[in-house]
Amino acid sequence: MNAQIILAYERLYKSTGFPAVSITALSVESGVALETLKDWLLLEHRNGNVVAALGDWSLATPQEREHAVTVRGEKHLLVRLESWSNWRMEGKEVIS
């Protein structure tokens, strides 16, 4: 797991009060390159640790639309980390 991503997710979740966060915001907040982040999100989605959400495309910026991840043929703007608090406590592998 990437500690940078998990900590960034935690900050975004706490600041917005919503568990589903923008992929764009997560990339900016974590400092992780977008393609690296997207690869990690898709891997963790396949492992059942990340839930992708379509989001509201009418409210999304062009950048958020561009940063969407494709799951089962549909583009998703938002993600939710299922076990983020457990990941931090378990000290999982960090991608740099």
Rg (CA), the chain: 12
DSSP secondary structure of 63-90: HHHHTPEEETTEEE-EEEETTHHHHHHH
DSSP secondary structure of 18-67: -S-EEHHHHHHHHT--HHHHHHHHHHHHHTTSEEEE---TTT--HHHHHT
CATH, domain 3-90, list 1.25.10, 1.10.510, 3.40.50, 1.10.10? 1.10.10
Convert the pLDDT of each residue in 42-85 to its tens digit. Answer: 999 999 899 999 999 999 999 999 999 999 999 999 999 987 55
Single pTM value for the model: 0.83
